[in-house]
Every structure is written in C-alpha cells, then in structure tokens.
C-alpha cells in the first residue's frame, strides 16, 4: 500500500508498506482522507518532535471505512466510517509509526470489547479517539472533527464560560477552534494575537472581538491588562516567545494553558512552564464526540468551512509546501 514516509529529517516520500495485519480486537480500515497537522506534522518532518528511527509513517488526522474485522470486534461493523485509523511500529518494517494515518490502510482497536471481555491488555492511547462518524459526513469533512473536538474539549477543561475574557496567541486551525468554541461557551471577549494579517477575516468570522498584530495594543487590551490581565490565555503556537507573551497577557490574575508543542531545538523556558498560573492541558476529544456531532447536525459547526485545500495523495509534496509556507489553514489529502 502507499504511505507517506519520512526517510530522514526534511525528507518525505510516497513509499510502499505492507497492508497491515490486525488482531482479534482490531479492524482493518481503508483510509479515505487524512489532514495535515500544521504543527505536529511539520515539527516531526523537521526532526523537532519525537526524533527516532527511519522510515517513519506520518499522519494522525485520518478517517476511513471498516473493510475487515477481527473475531472479537463488536463495536465496529463493516462499512462504518471511523476516525483516526493508525499504523503501529510493527506495520513499518525497519522503522516506526508516528501514527501512520497517511497510508491507504490502517487499524482501529475495539477498546470496549477488550474491557467487556475482562482482558487486561493495555489499550493504545488512540483507542478511545477511534470513534464512528455518520456516513452523511463525508471523509474530507470528517477529518476536521479531530481538531474541532480537541479544541472544544480544551476550552471546556480550561473552564471558559460566560463573561470571561480570552486571549489566544496563535493563528493555526487549533487557534481558530479555540476562538469559535470560546464564543460558543459564552466568553464575553476573545482577542487573537497574531504575527501576520492573513487570517484576520477568518477569526473575525469565528467571533473574535479583535485581531492584534504586534505590540501596539488598542484600548480594549490595555484595559484588560490594567485590570489584572485576561482571565484565560491560550498558547496555541508552541514557542517560548509565545508562552512569555501569554504570561504578560494573563497579568497578575489570569490563567495560561498550553496547547502548542515547542520544537526540540528551542523548547520551553522551564521557569515559565513551571509558573503557578501555567498548565499544559491534554485534549480528550472522545469526551465531546456526541456534542460535536450534534453541533454539526444543528448547523452550529459547518465542517466544510474548516478545510481550505483538498489534494489527492499523489500531490502530498504540494500539500506540505502549502502548509509550510502558510498558504493554507487546513490541507487534507484524499485517497
């Protein structure tokens, strides 16, 4: 099968892997689409995140249909559309999986059946996230659910609610999700701090009250800082400079939560990361799956608005170039 492989830092190719084997609690998925994660995938390719052996199979924003299943699988039926099929290290001869969703076939695991059978076998962390999607949601649109669910769960866990002021540092797909769902949860003001003007209109359409470039802050921001800071500040970049800016925006009273992943060559300033009002939050997207599907059904989330470029797998090089040059906010590879 075809798969996008990293052969060395900075070098990716469309290579060949065996169709993955699967166990009694696993199902074989024919992958239909996989999104490129602007942050994680780029840092993996640059050798700035999870360095390791090669080749490495990329991709974690994947979706596909069940075509075969193990004897003990009960949660998935043939034909189901499922999020986040992956490959394991055993599926990449001589190499490893950095989740492997950019391959023509992948694996999902039936964690519910494992637990129901009293099996103590450890379940891979991605297992709970491998959730079914209604077939009326197409594969390209379904890919966007990964980031959307992560960001919804993140802002819920952060405790954002009615009357809060929220500052978001960053402009990628996750930052856009944070903006949208902060407003959905009732935040009074959401202010985005950016490095370029390119996404201003997108953030304003997501409910942002202001989109700030540089350090020449308008009165709204100066007022927040003069009153002790924004109540909630989200680091959505993955850089020590962004985290320092977040701390300044939080002032004396606000809280900072970190979502971004810092590059290995310039990782966090530990003093900032250990600050009493700073916390790194994980996103358990599976916990908001039902809510997200209802938002989509109600028209409160329009999935097609969260994709800017759809390219065939064969044009992977162009897709990654669009991401690296910031000419797309979400590129999806279609199989």
| Interval 58-68: pLDDT, tens | 999 999 999 99
Q: Does domain 161-280 have CATH number 1.20.1250.20?
A: no
3-state secondary structure of 294: helix
Neighbours of 334 (CB within 10 A): 16
In sequence order, what E strands does 145-285 have? Answer: 165-169, 189-194, 210-213, 232-235, 255-258, 278-280
**Rounded to 5 degrees, what are φ and ψ at 191?**
-120, 130
Model confidence over 66-101: pLDDT tens digits? 999 999 999 999 999 999 999 999 999 999 999 999
Superfamily of domain 2-144+307-334 in CATH is Medium-chain alcohol dehydrogenases, catalytic domain (3.90.180.10)
Tell me the C-alpha distance between 98 and 41, whole Å: 9
Q: Which segments of the chain belong to CATH 3.90.180.10?
A: 2-144+307-334
Greatest Cα pair distance in the chain? 63
Residue pair 168/193 in contact (Cβ under 8 Å)? The answer is yes
pTM beyond cutoff 0.85: yes
Neighbours of 52 (CB within 10 A): 12
What is the per-residue burial (b if ≥16 Cβ within 10 Å, else e) of 104-130?
bbbbbbbbbbbeeeeeeeeebebbbbb
Model confidence over 185-212: pLDDT tens digits? 999 999 999 988 889 999 999 999 999 9
pLDDT exceeds 90 at position 120: no
Does the CA dihedral 62-321-243-213 come out positive or negative?
negative
pLDDT exceeds 90 at position 216: no
Tell me the C-alpha distance between 105 and 98, whole Å: 15
Please tell me which of 114-123, 270-279, 306-315 the model is most confident about, judged by mean pLDDT: 306-315
Q: Which segments of the chain belong to CATH 3.40.50.720?
A: 161-280
Tell me the C-alpha distance between 224 and 83, whole Å: 40
Looking at every residue in the chain, the average pLDDT score rounds to: 95
pLDDT exceeds 90 at position 283: no
Counts for the chain of helices (H) and strands (E), in that order: 11, 17
What integer pLDDT is reported at residue 196 of this predicted model?
Answer: 86
Neighbours of 246 (CB within 10 A): 30
pLDDT exceeds 90 at position 215: no
What integer pLDDT is reported at residue 93 of this predicted model?
Answer: 96
Q: Give the CA-trace dihedral at 32, 148, 191, 326, to 10 degrees.
A: -20
Mean pLDDT of 209-231: 93
Which residues are bridge partners to 234 per DSSP? 168, 257
**pLDDT bucket at 122, cuts 50 / 70 / 90:** confident
> What are the tokens at 271?
């003093």
pLDDT exceeds 90 at position 214: no
């Amino acid at each position: 099968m075809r798969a996008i492989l990293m052969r060395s830092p900075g070098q990716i190719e469309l290579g060949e892997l065996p169709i993955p084997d699967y166990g009694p609690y696993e199902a074989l998925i024919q992958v239909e689409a996989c999104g490129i994660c602007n942050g994680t995938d780029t840092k993996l390719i640059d050798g700035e995140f999870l360095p390791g052996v090669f080749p490495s199979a990329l991709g974690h924003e994947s979706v596909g249909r069940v075509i075969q299943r193990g004897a003990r699988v009960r949660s998935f039926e043939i034909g189901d559309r499922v999020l986040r099929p992956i490959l394991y290290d055993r599926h990449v001869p001589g190499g490893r999986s950095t989740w492997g969703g950019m391959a023509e076939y992948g694996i999902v695991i039936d964690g519910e059946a494992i637990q129901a059978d009293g099996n103590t076998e450890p379940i891979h962390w991605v297992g709970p996230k491998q959730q079914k999607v209604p077939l009326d949601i197409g594969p390209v649109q379904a890919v966007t659910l990964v980031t959307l669910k992560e960001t919804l769960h993140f802002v819920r866990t952060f405790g954002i609610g009615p009357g809060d002021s929220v500052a978001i540092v960053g402009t990628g797909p996750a930052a856009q999700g944070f903006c949208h769902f902060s407003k959905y949860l009732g935040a009074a003001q959401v202010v985005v701090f950016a490095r370029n003007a390119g996404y201003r209109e997108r953030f304003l359409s997501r409910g942002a009250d202001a989109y700030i470039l540089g350090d020449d802050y308008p009165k709204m921001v100066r007022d927040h800082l003069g009153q002790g800071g924004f109540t909630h500040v989200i680091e959505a970049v993955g850089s020590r400079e962004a985290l320092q800016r977040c701390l300044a925006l939080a002032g004396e009273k606000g809280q900072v939560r970190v979502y971004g992943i810092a590059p290995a060559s310039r990782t966090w300033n530990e003093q900032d990361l250990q600050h009493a009002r700073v916390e790194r939050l994980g996103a358990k997207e599976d916990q908001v799956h039902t809510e997200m599907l209802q938002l989509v059904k109600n028209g409160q989330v329009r999935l097609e608005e969260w994709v800017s470029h759809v390219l065939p797998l064969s044009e992977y090089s162009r897709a990654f170039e669009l991401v690296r040059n910031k000419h797309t906010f979400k590129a999806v590879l279609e199989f």
